[in-house]
Amino acid sequence: MDFNLNIFIFLSISCFLAAFIDAIAGGGGVISLPAYILSGMPMHYALGSNKFAVTFGCLGSSLKYILSGKINLKVLKYPIIVSFIGGILGAKSATLIKEDILEYIVIFLLIFTLIYTLLNKNLGVKNEFIEITKKINFLGTAWSLILGFYSGFFGPGSGGLMMLMFIKIYKYDFVTASGNAKIISFTSTFAGLLSFIYLGKIDYLYSVPMGIFMFLGGQLGAKYAITKGVRFVKIIFLIICFFTIISMGISIFIK
pLDDT, tens digit, for every residue of 40-53? 888 778 888 988 99
Distance CA 80, CA 181 (A): 10
- Report, as an integer, the average pLDDT of 218-239: 89
- Report, as an integer, the average pLDDT of 164-174: 89
Q: What is the pLDDT of residues 11-21, one digit of tens each?
A: 999 999 999 98
Distance CA 203, CA 42 (A): 10
Closest CA to 62 of 54, 73, 53, 71: 71
pLDDT of 56: 93
Judge whether residue 158 has pLDDT over 70.
yes
Distance CA 145, CA 154 (A): 14
pLDDT of 219: 93
pLDDT of 90: 82
pLDDT band of 99, cuts 50, 70, 90: low
Distance CA 51, CA 154 (A): 9
- Report, as an integer, the average pLDDT of 167-173: 90
Of all residues in the chain, the percent with pLDDT exceeding 90 is 27
- Report, as an integer, the average pLDDT of 210-216: 95
What does the mean pLDDT of the chain come to? 85
Selected residue with higher pLDDT from 84 and 253: 84
Q: How far is CA 22 from the centre of its chain?
A: 6
Inter-residue contact 211 to 55 (CB < 8 Å): yes
